[in-house]
Structure 1
């Protein structure tokens, strides 16, 4: 029981911290969750983090919250998921509440506008790093089918302008088919 409380406390503090200092959307928090839960705490394997990210992206809603849910659930069940949800939504709720109160004062402020432009550039770099890490994990797995799926999904989304929802659904279907086929072989 004490170990579960310790894990819940670490999940709460970690996801609260990550959510409070992550700007730019869910993919940024996913890479930071990987660093915290895979690299630092060693609670989750890197392949498993990729799977949890895929689940979080496939589910409706914000990827940051979905990612926190699946990681929290993996670590401590329903209590872990609820703990992670609460810790993840507190900082944006608080920040958005303050910004909405002061919006008219910030709306035309040159310094705030330039600061946000700078943050956009930093967020772009962090998202590029996430893509690089995730693609590297797939390529280093040396599974030609996974690499082909990744290349085709990228091509469909970026060059053919296919809706990402369809790309995710098709990739999920391919994953189901591959899993069932592998189970039959065993």
Structure 2
């Protein structure tokens, strides 16, 4: 039994450590990859469970990558949660630390601004891929897609608007049909 646990811990590290290094733009940028790994490749959770874990990770205070912790917990209990969390946070933290030192040291070089402008669309694309992955995995009703489209339009028009207002309104609108009938 211990061999099985060690194996699952190594698999958690093998999945989440490389994703850690790809998480440009934060934890949201790798949700699509986490979904692929946890559901399709390893079968740790079902698609429905993944959506539920994603919702819990978004509702709970703390980092957006709490989803990884919840998957680790589901797969291997407390130690699975710890291993998955460390596998996601340690590599990217070390990379960020090293990059910050290099970035500060070379901030006057011409490539600095070019790299900065080039990374913004990469992070945006990764976050959009994650959003579409979660939308596809949800109930996929016209109401969900319509609410997501309206939220996108609102955020494009008012980028500094607190997202909690939009999420609350969308939740009320989504729940309204079941409350009325």
Deviation at 1:70, TM superposition (A): 0.8
1:46 and 2:47 correspond: yes
- 1:75 pairs with 2:70: no
Write the distance in 2 (CA, Å) between the matches of 1:100 and 1:30.
25
TM-score scaled by length of structure 2: 0.78
Structure 2 portions without partners, runs of 5+: none
| Residue 28 of structure 1 pairs with residue 22 of structure 2 | no
RMSD: 3.0
Alignment of 1:118-157 (within 5 A): 118-138=118-138, 141=139, 144=141, 147-148=142-143, 151-152=146-147, 155=150
Q: Flag structure 1 segments of 5+ consecutive residues without an equivalent.
A: 182-186
How far apart, CA to CA, are the structure 1 residues paired with 2:152 and 2:38? 29
Counterpart CA distance in 1 for 2:81 and 2:168 is: 24
Counting only pairs closer than 5 Å after superposition, residues 1-186 of structure 1 correspond to structure 2 as: 1=1, 2-64=3-65, 66-138=66-138, 141=139, 144=141, 147-148=142-143, 151-152=146-147, 155=150, 158-159=153-154, 163-168=162-167
- Between 1 and 2, higher relative CO (CA 8 Å, sep ≥ 6) is seen in 2
Residues 159 and 97 of structure 1: CA distance in aligned 2, closer, same or farther (over 3 Å): closer
The answer on whether the counterparts of 2:8 and 2:76 sit within 8 Å (CA) in structure 1 is yes
How many residue pairs were aligned? 174
Query: Please, which moves more after superposition, 20-29 or 75-84?
Result: 20-29
Deviations 1:53-81 (A, max 9, x none): 111112222212x1111111111111111
